């Protein structure tokens, strides 16, 4: 009980101490790192860092991977803002006393964008599509029956025609269970290198100032500025209310301290029936300027069915409300598990 009270006090007093830097808005890049994956985590507002397990935990808190008992495969697709498609693939397995490992791949579909030039500002008739992806290698282990820790190593790549930028980042996470109901977690995300665009499309052929007639054009290389990636720190807690053997309510909250954005609070709720059918809801809000919320209400549902031969399948759906983008943002996730 003393540990529980101390933890709650620590979480409360950490909120005013860890103040996000609003003045640094727009100074970081690679915002694809902030786009969540997994319908269950999204439907609950990203609030369940302390109890997500298996492959879906990789994005939110890699420590949850350590709770995977067998092997899993996961596919998730999100119809994101501005008609951007976000696809996510992951496979992982438990390797006994050594822990669990997983490989993940997140990619983006921006569609076809018209090519414009100085001479043809309305378009040349050609199109291009940026290629963004994140490749991840994760490892986690349940240190005891109460404590799990995990790490996720990521390679980030962005390419626009013949210009690209790349970087690496690491996520750390821990989960602690006081009992079967109450748990807490902490995660540090996107600690890594700066990124910088380079490539042929940054070269410009133009006249050389002061040169004589017929001397030809020169080629100038534009040096792009380096940019940081959006890192952040999260504290989370959750509680599972067991109504009876068939019904339970899971509630959770997460505080996020951003390095270049305002701080956020996330709230999540999940109702489960016989550990098979689930209804979920969540809310993501800014701590201070709540009128400037980009994200807001989320909700969804899920079905978890286990076969007698040790196989299981999960179907999850989520909807995410995004301000200024009324187009529905739907998320679909399918997971296969083998014990």
In a domain, 198, yes or no: no
Residue percentage of the chain with pLDDT more than 90: 57
Q: Which two tokens stand for residue 2?
A: 């003393």
pLDDT tens across 218-249, in order?
677 788 889 999 999 999 999 999 998 899 99
pLDDT tens across 172-189, in order?
999 999 988 899 999 999
Tell which wins on pLDDT, 271 or 1: 271
Tell which wins on pLDDT, 245 or 59: 59
Average pLDDT of the chain, as a whole number: 87
- The pLDDT, as a whole number, for residue 16 is 45
Q: How far apart are the first and last CA of the chain?
A: 35
Integer angstrom CA distances of residue 79 from 48, 314, 319, 338: 22, 20, 10, 28
Q: What residues make up the domain containing 284?
A: 36-193+231-255+265-338
- The pLDDT, as a whole number, for residue 5 is 41
Integer angstrom CA distances of residue 178 from 2, 64, 174, 254, 311: 11, 15, 13, 17, 29
Give the count of beta carbons closer than 10 Å to the beta carbon of residue 168: 14
What is the Cα–Cα distance from 217 to 234, expressed in whole angstroms? 53
For the whole model, what pTM was predicted? 0.86
- The pLDDT, as a whole number, for residue 231 is 92
Q: How confident is the model at residue 6 (pLDDT cuts 50, 70, 90)?
A: very low
In a domain, 199, yes or no: no
Is residue 2 over pLDDT 50?
Answer: no
Token pair 């999960």: residue: 314
Q: How confident is the model at residue 83 (pLDDT cuts 50, 70, 90)?
A: confident
In a domain, 308, yes or no: yes
Nearest CA to 200 out of 222, 174, 217 is that of 222
In a domain, 91, yes or no: yes
In a domain, 217, yes or no: no
In a domain, 21, yes or no: no
In a domain, 10, yes or no: no
User: For residues 211-246, b (16+ Cβ closer than 10 Å) or e, as one string?
Assistant: eeeeeeeeeeeeeeeebbbbbbbbbbbbebeeeeee
* β-pair partners for 317: 301, 332
- Average the pLDDT over 198-221 and give the result: 73
> Is the Cα torsion angle 316, 286, 110, 166 positive or negative in sign?
negative
How many domains does one find in the chain? 1
pLDDT tens across 126-181, in order?
898 999 999 999 999 998 889 999 999 999 999 998 899 999 999 999 999 998 88
Q: Which domain CATH number covers 108?
A: 2.40.160.60
- The pLDDT, as a whole number, for residue 196 is 92
In a domain, 28, yes or no: no
């Amino acid at each position: 009980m003393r540990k529980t009270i101390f933890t709650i006090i620590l979480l409360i007093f950490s909120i005013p101490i860890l103040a996000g830097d609003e003045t640094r808005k727009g100074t970081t890049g690679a915002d694809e790192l902030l786009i969540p994956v997994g319908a269950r985590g999204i439907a609950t507002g990203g609030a369940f860092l302390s109890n997500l397990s298996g492959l879906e935990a990789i994005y939110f808190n890699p420590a949850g991977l350590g709770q995977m008992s067998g092997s899993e495969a996961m596919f998730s697709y999100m119809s994101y803002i501005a008609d951007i498609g976000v696809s996510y693939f992951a496979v992982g397995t438990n390797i006994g006393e050594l822990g669990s490992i997983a490989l993940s791949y997140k990619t983006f579909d921006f569609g076809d964008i018209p090519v414009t030039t100085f001479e043809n500002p309305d378009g040349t008739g050609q199109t291009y599509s940026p290629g963004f992806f994140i490749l991840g290698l994760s490892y986690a282990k349940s240190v005891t029956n109460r404590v799990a820790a995990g790490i996720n190593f990521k390679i980030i790549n962005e390419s626009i025609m013949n210009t690209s930028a790349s970087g690496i980042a690491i996520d750390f996470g821990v989960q602690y269970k006081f009992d079967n109901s109450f748990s807490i977690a902490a995660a540090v995300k996107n600690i890594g290198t700066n990124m910088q665009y380079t490539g042929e499309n940054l070269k410009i052929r133009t006249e050389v100032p002061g040169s004589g007639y017929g001397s030809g054009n020169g080629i100038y290389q534009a040096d792009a500025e380096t940019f940081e990636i959006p890192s952040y720190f999260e504290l989370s807690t959750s509680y599972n209310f067991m109504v009876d053997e068939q019904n339970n309510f899971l509630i959770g909250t997460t505080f996020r301290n951003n390095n270049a954005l305002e701080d956020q609070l996330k709230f999540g709720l999940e109702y489960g029936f016989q550990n098979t059918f689930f209804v979920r809801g969540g809310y993501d809000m800014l701590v201070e300027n709540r009128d400037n919320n980009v994200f807001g209400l989320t909700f969804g549902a899920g079905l978890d069915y286990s076969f007698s031969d040790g196989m299981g399948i999960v179907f999850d759906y989520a909807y995410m409300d995004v301000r200024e983008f009324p187009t529905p943002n739907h998320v679909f996730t399918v997971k296969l598990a083998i014990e």
